[in-house]
Every structure is written in structure tokens, then in C-alpha cells.
Amino acid sequence: MYESASVVKVMFMVALLREPDVRHDALSPGERHLIGPMIKRSDNEAATAVFDRVGEAALYRLARDAGMKRFQTQPTWGLTHITARDQARFMFRLDRFIPKRHRGYAMHLLTRIVSSQRWGIPPVAPRGWTLHFKDGWSGAPSWRVNQVMLLRRPPRRLSLAILTREQPSMSYGTESIEGVARRLLRRYNRVSR
């Protein structure tokens, strides 16, 4: 199992959108003020507020509904235990877990990640695919650099979850993710150009 860092924020967003008082109603300005920055620029204060609001039980329900076999929250949300397999499966079916009313908004947010965080998979992703993704990193005590992504080119879709630990630096971790993604996506790049 790996420590999630900020990739768990996708689950936070989905858990909030599934809340009974949110799923069928328009998002309040306060909810948009939390979700938008948490996803687009990985705002940790917003993530903590969402985590505190939805609680562990909502995350475990989502993990169960998504068929995650190994998911475990921690008191510090960035240390949540996840696996690449569970995250790749979750991302592949992500839109199924988002209430219909909020699906377009949530999926769009995951395409709007700030440019400084578009490393790893995005530079080597095949052309013509829409990228819905989130990355996460932490440098204490050693670097953990992670990225999860759904790539869509209707009717096709594929997902990736690349998780690392004990990287010597952030740049080493991002280059590791890019290298793995380049190899995994090589065939897609050939047919997409």
C-alpha cells in the first residue's frame, strides 16, 4: 500500500458531491470555493475542510462502492493508504460514482489542473484524448509522488495510477512517473498521432 498524498482529493470531491444534502441540489458558493481550489491547485486547507465535513465513513462507503480492496484512512488525510490497482479502477469508472447533477462540473474540474502541476503523465499522454487527473506529492520524510488519471477519447477510455515512495526529490518522482507513463502509453501515442 502507498500513502496517497493529494490524489485522495478526487475521492474527497466525489464523497462531498454524494452527500444527501448536495447530490440533488445546486452547489453553494462555499462548496464551489472548497472543491475548485482543492482539485485545480491542490489546496490543502480546502481538502482538510472537505475531509472534516464528509468524514471517514463517507470515504469508506465510496471505497466499498468502487470495489476498492485495500483502502484505509489515516488521521492525516495525506497518509491515506491506497493501491494503484484500486485507484486505476476508481478512475476508470469515476463518472459512475458522481451524481448526475454534478458529473459535468466534477469531470471538467479534473481537466483544469494548474499548469505547474501538469507533469508526469500529461506531457506524454496521447494527443486527442481528454485528461482527467490529479497528482499528489509530499516530501517528508522522503518524497512520495503520485498521479491518477482517466483518459477519454470516446468511445475509448483508459486509466492509470502511478504511485511512488522514497523518491530522492520531487523532480526525480515526476520524471519516474513520466517514464513509466511513456512506456505504458507508447502504443496509444503511435495510433493517436
pLDDT in tens, 58-99: 999 999 999 999 999 999 999 999 999 999 999 999 999 999
Cβ within 8 Å of residue 164, ≥6 positions away: 2, 143, 144, 145, 146, 173, 176, 177
Look at the chain and count its residues: 193
Task: Report the Cα 114 to chain-centroid distance in Å.
Answer: 14
Q: Which CATH number fits domain 2-192: 3.40.710.10, 3.30.70.270, 3.60.21.10, 3.30.70.930?
A: 3.40.710.10
Query: pLDDT of the chain along its 193 residues, tens only?
Result: 999 999 999 999 999 999 999 999 999 999 999 999 999 999 999 999 999 999 999 999 999 999 999 999 999 999 999 999 999 999 999 999 999 999 999 999 999 999 999 999 999 999 999 999 999 999 866 899 999 999 999 999 999 999 999 999 999 999 999 999 999 998 886 655 4
CA 9 to CA 35: how far, in whole Å?
Answer: 9
Residues 185 and 126: beta-carbon distance below 8 Å: yes
pTM of the model: 0.95
H/E element, 133: strand 130-138
* Residue whose C-alpha cell reads 494527443 in the numeric block: 127
Cβ within 8 Å of residue 132, ≥6 positions away: 91, 94, 107, 110, 111, 149, 150, 151, 152
